[in-house]
Amino acid sequence: MVVIDQMGYAVYCEVPPQVLDKLKQYLQEGKILYICNACVERAKPGFRVVDTPYILKLIMRTQIFEGNSNDTTFPKYVFSLTPIEMLPQYARRTDRFLDVIGKITAISNAAVARNTSGDLMMRRLITLQDEKGNTVDLSLSGQRALEFDADIGQNHHVIAIFVGTLMKIYREDYKFLSGTSACRWYINENDIPAMRTFQRGLPSQVTPIKKLELLSEDYMEQGVEEKTLFDLKQIDPLADKNKRFQCTVTLISTAEKEQWCYRACRVCNSRMVPCDDGYECTKIDGCSCKQYDWKYKVCFIGADDTYNLQFMFFEKKGVELIGKSAETLRKQYDPSSIPPEISQ
């Protein structure tokens, strides 16, 4: 969560699971609180909600007292707007979340779609436009896609501020904003000066919001081609990189002489390698992060009646299959020694 003081200074506040039950009665948006005995820690190098070097962390000894929630001297909103025309330069960057303002010109239905990790989830597409006519698509995912009201005004301009988004790239040329659990929005809030300023720059004539139609992935997947492993081996990954195939295999073994985990950059998950002052990220277009976590990178052999092929799964699927994070297993096993939780 984010807290803000009377002077307008904001900081990200972390609430560990072990103290949440004790304090959750106080943690409601809009409440004014006095917080005692909290810790100040360095902010993580990536996915910063507020662009500050430190965070506030609540602990078991933290005490919270309620203040006067009708005190109007406290700011209600926290954001740092990035102009739509400047968003492309933040593509693939994960050092901080992005906040953006725009007029909503199009909204889709919520449909089942596959994300970049290959998982199916709900998705809704929204198009935002600035005063100069620049546009950007925003993809709301999961619960956020369902929470957004797709029937908002057709008779007036709809001005929205979306906070907690990231700029992403799909198939190397389509750049869009992604809004997941960290994203929220403010719509036509007249007490936000930035919205009033934006509204004054718009023409009096209102163009109705366009309705977009997204096909659900479960419908589209009916056309996914089934392949044998021998067929998959013959596929040119460069010529068919945008195609999806499915296969049915039996897992017969883990790959020999392969490590089951790797040092993953805390910002972008790229591999970290040793350098003069510790470790550095190997991301091609640059990443200054020096910190890492252990993540799954498990190679295994799958077989069908036609061939054997090597497959691989990473952290998210590993936690789902094994029930433990790679960071947890790494405390017990060396990267070159396959844990029984994986091999059995």
Q: What is the pLDDT of residues 321-337, one digit of tens each?
A: 888 889 889 999 999 88
pTM above 0.85, yes or no: no
Instruction: Give the largest CA-CA distance in the chain.
Output: 72
Residue range 17-30: mean pLDDT, rounded: 89
The C-alpha atoms of residue 13 and residue 6 are separated, in whole angstroms, by: 16
pLDDT computed for residue 118 by the predictor: 64
The C-alpha atoms of residue 337 and residue 56 are separated, in whole angstroms, by: 38
Per-residue confidence band for 116, with pLDDT thresholds at 50, 70 and 90: low
Q: What tens digit of pLDDT does each residue of 258-306 get?
A: 899 999 998 888 899 999 888 999 987 778 888 899 999 999 999 999 9
pLDDT computed for residue 284 by the predictor: 77
Give the list of residues 6+ apart from residue 317 with CB closer than 8 angstroms, or none: 296
The C-alpha atoms of residue 224 and residue 87 are separated, in whole angstroms, by: 34
Residue range 203-223: mean pLDDT, rounded: 76
Mean of the per-residue pLDDT values of the chain: 88
Sign (positive or negative) of CA dihedral 3, 7, 8, 11: negative
The total number of structural domains in the chain stands at: 3
Is 189 found in the same domain as 139? yes
Q: What tens digit of pLDDT does each residue of 124-156 get?
A: 999 999 999 999 999 999 889 989 988 887 788
119 vs 99, more confident: 99
Q: What tens digit of pLDDT does each residue of 168-202 get?
A: 987 777 899 999 988 999 999 989 999 999 999 98
Is 231 found in the same domain as 206? no
Q: Any idea what the CATH number is for the domain that residue 197 is in? A: 2.40.50.140
Report the range of poorest mean pLDDT among 91-95, 96-100, 228-232.
Answer: 91-95
Is 237 found in the same domain as 207? no
Which tokens sit at 44?
């993580």
Give the list of residues 6+ apart from residue 282 with CB closer than 8 angstroms, or none: 270, 271, 272, 273
Range of the domain at 284: 224-343
pLDDT higher than 90, residue 215: no
DSSP labels for 228-255? -HHHHHHS-TTTTTT--EE---EEEEEP
Is 274 found in the same domain as 173? no
Residue range 33-44: mean pLDDT, rounded: 92
pLDDT computed for residue 216 by the predictor: 72
Per-residue confidence band for 229, with pLDDT thresholds at 50, 70 and 90: very high
DSSP labels for 61-103? T-EEEE--TT-TTS------B--GGGGGGGTT--SB-EEEEEE
User: Does residue 72 form part of some domain?
Assistant: no
Q: Which of 66, 94, 117 is the last residue of a domain?
A: 66
Name the most confidently modeled range: 159-163, 222-226, 334-338: 159-163
Is 243 found in the same domain as 154? no
pLDDT computed for residue 343 by the predictor: 80
User: In this prediction, what percent of the chain has a pLDDT beyond 70?
Assistant: 96
Least Cα distance to 266 among 291, 245, 248 occurs for 291
Q: Which of 37, 66, 95 is the last residue of a domain?
A: 66
Is 52 found in the same domain as 151? no
Read off the DSSP letter of residue 48: B
User: Does residue 13 form part of some domain?
Assistant: yes
